[in-house]
Structure 1
Amino acid sequence: MRDFALAPPVSAPPTGGLADSIFERALLEPTLPVLARRLGGSSEWTDITAVEVRDTVVDLAKGLVASGISPGHRVAIMARTRYEWTVLSYALWAVGAEVVPVYPTSSREQVEWILRDAACVGVVVEDEQSVMTVGSVCASLPMLRHVWQLDAGALDKLVERGSLVPFAAVDSLRRIVLPDSTAVIAYTSGSTGRPLGCALSHRSLASGCDTLLEGWGHLVVPPGGQASVLAFLPFSHVYGLMVQGLCMRGGMLMGHESEPSGDSLAAALRSFRPTYFCAVPSVFEKIYKNYLRSAREAGRGALFERAADTARDFAAAVQRHRLGEGPGPGLDLRLQHALYERTVYRGLRGALGGRIRRATSGGSPLSREISLFYEGIGIYLNDGYGLTETAGGVTAQPPGRERSGTVGKVLPGMDVRVADDGEILVRGPSVFQGYVNDEAATRAALRGGWLATGDLGILDSDGYLTITGRKKDVIITSNGKSVAPATLEQRLRMHPLIHQAVVVGDNRPCVGALLTLDPDFLAYWRGTLEPRPDPRSRDAREENALREEIARAVAAANSAVSRSESIRVFRVLPEPFALSNGLLTPSMKLRRDAIVRHYALEIDAMYQARAETRRQPVPDESAVWEDSDNVFR
């Protein structure tokens, strides 16, 4: 068992509750812009100062008090990432209430389960559709007394209702909130069953943010300016809450983007021009693919690919040098990189607003290739590690000693241990208080003060942690080979045509994969094929070309693993894994068990088709699966 921790915490332990940071900022820097809004559908951003945010929070808190919201009451917020989410959450914390984040895309059954399990007395929704969803389950929610609709003027109505409540009523409630009071009930994704409510204290949410701000905050502040962050990750996820906490506790300017789709996010980035970018690996992968597609459409695909290779090579050489493992980029590489800085990299950064120099990826492991690409074009992209039960961050890349392909080192004040079976165990102030209404699950997760994360990882001799997969996702073939699918799936998604990948193979003679295609890149790729007059020959040629391209992607993914772990069969599916078909969680995680059940016939056919092509006497069953297949549908 390997055990590792960095130095003790560098910042003082938090005192009071999360709302205190709003009041302290307003007192110390009243005119500092801390939030930015787009009003009336405008693309222009309007800054809101610390004292204005404080006053809004107080007015909303007074309305909550007038509505009967008291310390310990739970109120759900079922909305996209928007300004109202931030001011309402801090108003709730100011009166000692507990926030229950709910994804606005949650199904009726999920909404009913969370509101009932958390015993919510109120829920904030966005629109009429959400009101109808909540209304359809109200009969089973005896505790629910309030439904506030943002698009129907809920904030103005709360402010009006609390107009006669004195400021002292809010201030006295805020001052009795303790660091160990529960602040958030964050529900897990429910990828393997009912979502579990993780009770997170004010201390849990504050301590990780304060540690990161103390040791890393200076890296995202431009010279002579203020750091700015465009928040588009859902606040219904603990990663989004952590971004909000970093901004509000660190005095960063935060804007909100509620539509994280490609065009909306791209436009918001160009207009807001953040200095710091927080996202999940799929976003960074999608941006890279968009760069590649745009370059190819402009006839500059070969130039972009050479520039991307140079960026990765340059970043890898710089990284080896800063870790004391190499001399750094040679003269030729430096000259190439300088050329592409003028002709390619500057434009790529400009597409993201032009001011981003640092970015963080979380939620799932980030590929080393993607990390090196962004660092090579001038955006230092580093991976970190955390989970719902730790209120976010557990590890981060040490400044000046970043190592791509890992999630960095343990944050000061936290301890990490890797058990003999490879499971990561965590201990520290960020760890949650337990699962709501489920003592058995709490006892199973918290063992002698250590949180059993369910993640598998490796700690090297320098203390860098590498995530290798999820314990529950490990596949065991009929030959007894254990395969963690994360590496294969990550490399498959690197191909521009592949959108999603799920590796299968439990109790099968070899590893297989279910794939979905990126519709944007597929449309572009089809347009690049030479036209044929006969539609039938064109369709057959397109299918053959696509089969060969996907086979090359599978071969590239297989190069990262041993022969016995490599993908031997695969199938391209006609539709993506989505919320609508129940194959993604609201946090966009794969429901692996549901996918395997949903595509059971396709999986059987995939392996059967391979077996039928190999029916001949062989001395060893595993030899039947020596070459990867092109099963395509």
Structure 2
Amino acid sequence: MRLLGGPRPLDPGPLFETLAERGSPTVVRLSRPLDLAPEAGCTWTIPQLAELVREMSAVLTAAKVRPGDRVAIHKRNHWDYALLTSAAARIGAVPALLSHRLAPEALAVLLARLNPVLLVSDRYTLALGGAAHGVRTLCLDGPATGAIALDALRGGPVPAVHRRPDDEPLVINHTSGTTGLPKLVIHSTTSLVRRLSGIEAHRWPVVSVRREDTAASAIAFAHGRAVSWSISALWARPRTVLLVADAEPSLAAPLLRAHRPTVLEALPATYMRWQPLAAEPDTPFADLRLCISTFDAVHPPTVRDFLAASRRRRPIWVQGLGQTETGPLTFRVLTRRSVAEREQRHPTTRDLGRPVPGWVGLRVVDPETMRPVRRGEPGVVLARTPGLCSGYEGEQERWQAKLTGRWFNTGDLGVRTRTGSLRLLDREVDMIPGLSCVELEDVLHDRLPELAEAVVLAAGEGRPPLPVLVTRGGELDLRRWRHAVRDLPPLAEPLLLGWDTLPRTGTGKVCRHQLRSRYLAGVAAHGTGRWT
């Protein structure tokens, strides 16, 4: 496949050098300086980034990292996760990207499975206990107890690019961990670059990044999406790239106002936090032509507010379903008309569209027999995709248990409609027979604009589901609540929490299993959790 009039994207190692050689005009602007170069400011050209990656590959070599070695990266959220991935890949090492939001006990288990030769971190993360795992540690942004300072390893010769076979491990990312301990997902150059990044880097009508775009990303940069997005977006040579490290509106808004994005990809939780910005008269989102969301469910009012904020004639929202293991599986284009408020309960964003044509196969099966069910009947969603990862680091038995031939068990419950699209119900482990938690959450967000977050928890046999709510003002009018749920299935009295007390993963998903253990301890769930 030849993309954008040139060769297909390379693996992350030589990516920035290749872009510089091709004369990429892209300017990268950051919401705050990189943790690995805090003195260098917030504006970078592609040649400058190429030199930074080369320098960091020399630092890793000086730290005695060799081809095939695992290098754990565990630091504050920022795009230098992607740059450190490039530096490690450049010398043939395998970077493992670990979110700083991991609980200490989860981090300890994942580091034990990885057995990395080096842990790359920063002072903020190390102060939270990231160095207490007996792993040789490199601190990026200054001296830290028990760690090697970055400056101590600078100045060595820049190594040559290491060329690895396409099917060898390239990068390791962990799953979100909403249902328990995260899994370490192994992707190769074949799966992550040639297939997932390669198909996205193709110049598709409307949904691709263009050269005149200002493309913004505000995601969890420890996620594999940060690597595939960086490859495909930079390959398109847009005028400007914006990288937003912190979702707090006051921290993100200055960059977004100074350089209004035309394309925006963000976590669903970030979109929700930015809804007040979208409603401002001088909104930074006035020039949006394309919004992209993956990672988690996105609610109709959120889509509605961002499309309304754009002053373009026909802005669109692309919503996708995918997993760390598979990459994108389905997509659906939403417009102002498709998310317009209607007098109906069924939400507008549970239909996640059709499988990527010519790329993905989907099958909905009975969870007991694993035989396909009829259209319109619920079941567990299986996927077949050429972008499937290689397995789970240290848990190959768990990986094999999720495979049926070439079909991967996503652990999601869904329905294939008569038109072939997929309507998502819930994770199997979170299921309520005859109901959909995420559908109820959509309805609550539609009817109660004051909600910043709504989570419906299965409460076990004979007990109504428990709604856990966060409101923008910290209060809930019970009369409005009772009116909103008047025609819904019976729900327990709502539990009101603050935004910061809601447990979340590194990708902003609510940790439902933690909420269950806090507020429904000892109550048996309906789902089996066999495919988490």
2:216 counterpart of 1:230:
yes
2:288 counterpart of 1:272:
no
Q: Is the 8 A contact 2:278 2:306 kept in 1?
A: no
Identity score, percent: 20
Q: Name the CA shift for 1:424/1:24 in 2 (closer, same or farther; >3 Å).
A: same
Tell me how far apart the structure 1 counterparts of residues 7 and 419 of structure 2 sit (CA, whole Å).
27
Q: Is the 8 A contact 2:277 2:283 kept in 1?
A: no
Tell me how far apart the structure 1 counterparts of residues 285 and 301 of structure 2 sit (CA, whole Å).
23
Q: Name the CA shift for 1:246/1:45 in 2 (closer, same or farther; >3 Å).
A: farther
2:503 counterpart of 1:571:
no
Q: Is the 8 A contact 2:99 2:506 kept in 1?
A: yes
How far did 1:157 drift?
A: 6.3
Tell me the alpha carbon deviations over residues 424-467 of structure 1, each in whole angstroms, 9 at most, x when there is no partner. 22222211101111122111112201111111233345443332
Secondary structure of the residue aligned to 1:64 is helix
How far did 1:194 drift?
A: 2.4
Selected match of 1:371 from 288, 297, 303: 303
Selected match of 1:445 from 387, 390, 402: 402
Paired residue for 1:113?
A: 109
Tell me how far apart the structure 1 counterparts of residues 7 and 407 of structure 2 sit (CA, whole Å).
20
Q: Is the 8 A contact 1:513 1:570 kept in 2?
A: yes
Q: TM-score, normalised by structure 2?
A: 0.80
Secondary structure of the residue aligned to 2:77 is coil
**What do you get for the CA RMSD once the two structures are aligned?**
3.7
User: Which runs of structure 2 are paired with 1:168-179 in the superposition (5 Å)?
Assistant: 169-171=159-161, 173=162, 176-179=163-166
Letter in 2 for 1:199: I
What are the ranges of 5 or more consecutive residues in structure 2 without an aligned counterpart?
Answer: 339-347, 367-378, 525-532
Secondary structure of the residue aligned to 1:521 is coil
Paired residue for 2:197?
A: 209
Tell me how far apart the structure 1 counterparts of residues 108 and 521 of structure 2 sit (CA, whole Å).
32
How far did 1:574 drift?
A: 4.5
Q: From the CA coordinates, give the structure whose radius of gyration is larger.
A: 1
Tell me how far apart the structure 2 counterparts of residues 52 and 272 of structure 1 sit (CA, whole Å).
20
Paired residue for 1:513?
A: 466
Choose between structure 1 and 2: higher helix proportion. 1
Tell me the alpha carbon deviations over residues 58-107 of structure 1, each in whole angstroms, 9 at most, x when there is no partner. 12112211221111111122223335333222111111111211111222
Selected match of 2:19 from 11, 25, 37: 25
Q: Is the 8 A contact 1:80 1:234 kept in 2?
A: no
Selected match of 2:225 from 210, 230, 239: 239
User: Which runs of structure 2 are paired with 1:68-79 in the superposition (5 Å)?
Assistant: 68-79=64-75
Letter in 2 for 1:213: A
Q: Name the CA shift for 1:38/1:496 in 2 (closer, same or farther; >3 Å).
A: closer
Q: Name the CA shift for 1:597/1:399 in 2 (closer, same or farther; >3 Å).
A: closer
Tell me the alpha carbon deviations over residues 338-364 of structure 1, each in whole angstroms, 9 at most, x when there is no partner. xxxxxxxxx4xx412533211011112
Selected match of 2:59 from 60, 63, 66: 63
Q: Is the 8 A contact 1:280 1:363 kept in 2?
A: yes
What are the ranges of 5 or more consecutive residues in structure 1 without an aligned counterpart?
Answer: 1-7, 139-143, 295-346, 477-481, 524-542, 559-565, 605-633
Selected match of 2:245 from 258, 262, 269: 258
Q: TM-score, normalised by structure 1?
A: 0.69
Secondary structure of the residue aligned to 1:475 is coil
How far did 1:13 drift?
A: 10
Selected match of 1:389 from 325, 330, 336: 325
2:443 counterpart of 1:491:
yes
Tell me how far apart the structure 1 counterparts of residues 52 and 27 of structure 2 sit (CA, whole Å).
13
Paired residue for 2:343?
A: none
Paired residue for 2:373?
A: none
Q: Is the 8 A contact 2:432 2:458 kept in 1?
A: yes
Tell me how far apart the structure 2 counterparts of residues 598 and 46 of structure 1 sit (CA, whole Å).
41
User: Which runs of structure 2 are paired with 1:85-484 in the superposition (5 Å)?
Assistant: 85-131=81-127, 133-138=129-134, 144-152=135-143, 158=150, 161=153, 163-165=155-157, 167=158, 169-171=159-161, 173=162, 176-206=163-193, 207-216=195-204, 219=207, 221=209, 225-252=211-238, 253-288=240-275, 347=281, 350-368=282-300, 370-376=302-308, 377=310, 378=312, 379-390=315-326, 392-397=327-332, 405=349, 406-421=351-366, 422-476=379-433, 482-484=434-436
Secondary structure of the residue aligned to 1:26 is helix
Letter in 2 for 1:270: R
Tell me how far apart the structure 2 counterparts of residues 291 and 33 of structure 1 sit (CA, whole Å).
26
Secondary structure of the residue aligned to 1:360 is strand
Tell me the alpha carbon deviations over residues 502-559 of structure 1, each in whole angstroms, 9 at most, x when there is no partner. 32444443633322232x3347xxxxxxxxxxxxxxxxxxx8xx1101122324xx5x
Q: Is the 8 A contact 2:209 2:215 kept in 1?
A: no
Selected match of 1:500 from 449, 453, 458: 453
Tell me how far apart the structure 2 counterparts of residues 598 and 136 of structure 1 sit (CA, whole Å).
27
Q: Name the CA shift for 1:76/1:413 in 2 (closer, same or farther; >3 Å).
A: farther
Selected match of 2:478 from 532, 540, 547: 547
Q: Is the 8 A contact 2:474 2:498 kept in 1?
A: no
Tell me how far apart the structure 1 counterparts of residues 414 and 3 of structure 2 sit (CA, whole Å).
26
Q: Is the 8 A contact 1:187 1:196 kept in 2?
A: yes
How far did 1:199 drift?
A: 0.7
Q: Is the 8 A contact 1:577 1:584 kept in 2?
A: no
Selected match of 1:35 from 23, 28, 34: 28
Tell me the alpha carbon deviations over residues 447-494 of structure 1, each in whole angstroms, 9 at most, x when there is no partner. 201111111233345443332221221114xxxxx3221100222234
Tell me how far apart the structure 2 counterparts of residues 572 and 289 of structure 1 sit (CA, whole Å).
24
How far did 1:28 drift?
A: 1.1
Tell me how far apart the structure 2 counterparts of residues 250 and 241 of structure 1 sit (CA, whole Å).
15
- Paired residues in the alignment total 489
Q: Is the 8 A contact 1:80 1:104 kept in 2?
A: yes
How far did 1:387 drift?
A: 0.6
Letter in 2 for 1:265: A
Tell me how far apart the structure 2 counterparts of residues 52 and 117 of structure 1 sit (CA, whole Å).
35
